[in-house]
Amino acid sequence: MSGFINTENMPIRTIVIGVLTSLAVMLAVMCAICGVMQFISSIPYHLLPYILLIADAVGVFCGGYIAAALNKSRGLILGLIIGFLVFIIVFAAGLSTGESVGLITFLRLAVLAIFGMLGGIKGVNKKEKIHIK
């Protein structure tokens, strides 16, 4: 079992690309949400963590999809790994800003793991492009 992560079926490069894609998409979605919130001032403050959880889920789904599409196998495991790594990064960033551990933290872990796995499954099962001659 040694060398499980850095084998032909699961290269570390694919995981890094998936995590970076997840973080980039999360940033883009969060910027879009902030832009929308500039025009809608009636959003209650207590809904903000759940709105940002949606951005996290979209980002991790995209990261799992890209990583599994690049690897072409083991989408479920790749998505789970990417979801967990992104959770660790988001959790560490939250702790560094003084965020407390609560119910939303465990909800974020579950959502990121599930959406990462769903993205991985979708990425493995994607249709190949049709080339028209």
Residue 26 lies in a domain: yes
Q: What is the pLDDT of residue 103?
A: 87
Q: What is the pLDDT of residue 30?
A: 92
Residue 94 lies in a domain: yes
Q: What burial letters (b/e) apply to 69-81, b meaning 16+ CB within 10 Å?
A: bebeebbebbbbb
Q: What is the pLDDT of residue 100?
A: 80
Q: What is the pLDDT of residue 10?
A: 60
Its pTM stands at 0.84
Residue 52 lies in a domain: yes
Q: What is the pLDDT of residue 96?
A: 87
Q: Could you tell me the mean pLDDT of each successive run of 10 residues in the chain, 133 residues long? A: 57 90 94 87 82 92 92 87 94 86 89 94 77 55
Residue 25 lies in a domain: yes
Which domain range does residue 49 map to?
15-124
Residue 132 lies in a domain: no
Q: What is the pLDDT of residue 7?
A: 62
Q: What is the pLDDT of residue 102?
A: 84
Residue 69 lies in a domain: yes
Q: Which amino acid is at 51?
A: I
First to last CA, the chain: 45
Residue 22 lies in a domain: yes
| Count of domains for the chain | 1
The answer to whether the beta carbons of residues 113 and 87 sit under 8 Å apart is yes
Residue 71 lies in a domain: yes
